[in-house]
Amino acid sequence: MKILVTGAAGFIGSHTATHLLERGEQVVGIDNLNSYYDPALKEARIERLSKFPGFRFYRLDLADRSGMQDLFQRERFARVVHLGAQAGVRYSIENPHAYVDSNLVGTTNVLEGCGREAVEHLVYASSSSVYGSNSKTPFSVHDNVDHPLSFYAATKKANEMMAHSYSNLYKLPTTGLRFFTAYGPWGRPDMALFLFTRNILANEPIDVFNHGHHKRDFTYIDDIVSGIVGVLDKAPAEQSNWDSVNSDPSSSAAPYRIYNIGSNRPVELIRYIELIEECLGRKARKNLLPLQIGDVPDTCADIRDIARDIGYSPKVSVEEGVTRFVRWYLDYYKPSA
């Protein structure tokens, strides 16, 4: 089966592509290898994937309309995993236009390719950030998400609505996945675990927002990938009995579904930092700061729907996950003592 993975040089994308290749699929990966963070790390991920004979890579920007059209017409993908996006809540405040180009224009190009070329299933990345100002936890896919707190979150909510329109227009099965704080080896350098580890080793202070008291549903990358692949293998069907009066936002009469992928075990940030300190055998110098604009105090995923439908069950504890990341970091970067 030929599968397109967008954002294949990214953290989640590279792990997902690896899993698909290991089970014998053909994977075509695309990425623009931009400089949002160290391109060398992205290139190293692609180098690992290139060792598989079933992998091919194109350096291509999602916003390149003609390039994306040519790709879909030439390759004729069976399924698509759309993970390419401009990430980051804080960066969306500084540079919102990057999110328009990648998350809105880019996703439109992916949807067009899938709809026009009759792809059998599109799985795409949404985000837990769409829950915005929701105060009810755990966050449920059955709840309203109309009040995003950042522009990044707004683009992810828009992606869900855009996907629904294509599910309706083209009967294209689409599944959106709201990821909750993915972490692990080969992670993004702009994420807390990476930043904290680097700065602690360098004896530099770490910025701890909300004085470390907010909680995050940290989800290990292997658990994220198991959810992606499990969902990919089960395309949603049209639902003739869908209740349009008392509508459920996670489903539709069209072949459309939304799921959370999290651990359902939120951890306070200050405890997360303690785990890193224990693994490194060093104490962090903490710069305690208020909650940053655009951030939410706590996240926790209600994962009952995805557990029911595909048997999703996160396996890796945060203690084990942080340990695995630190081992990878020390091996990959080999920082001096």
Catalytic residues: 152
The C-alpha angle with vertex 333 and arms to 200 and 102, in degrees rounded to 5, equals 90
The C-alpha angle with vertex 153 and arms to 148 and 157, in degrees rounded to 5, equals 85
Alpha carbon 268 to chain centroid distance? 21
What is the total residue count of the chain? Answer: 337
Closest CA to 271 of 220, 213, 332: 213
Quick one: DSSP state of residue 130? G
What type of residue sits at position 231? V
Q: In what order do the strands lie in the sheet with 256-261?
A: 55-59, 26-31, 2-6, 79-82, 121-127, 174-179, 256-261
- Rounded Cα distance between 77 and 121, Å, is 10
- Rounded Cα distance between 37 and 13, Å, is 15
Strands (E), 65-189: 79-82, 121-127, 174-179, 182-183
- Rounded Cα distance between 74 and 95, Å, is 33
Catalogue the long-range contacts made by 288-291 (C-beta closer than 8 Å, 24 or more residues apart): 288/208, 288/211, 288/212, 289/207, 289/208, 289/209, 289/210, 289/211, 290/209, 290/210, 290/211, 291/209, 291/210, 291/214
Q: Show the tokens assigned to 55.
A: 């992998």
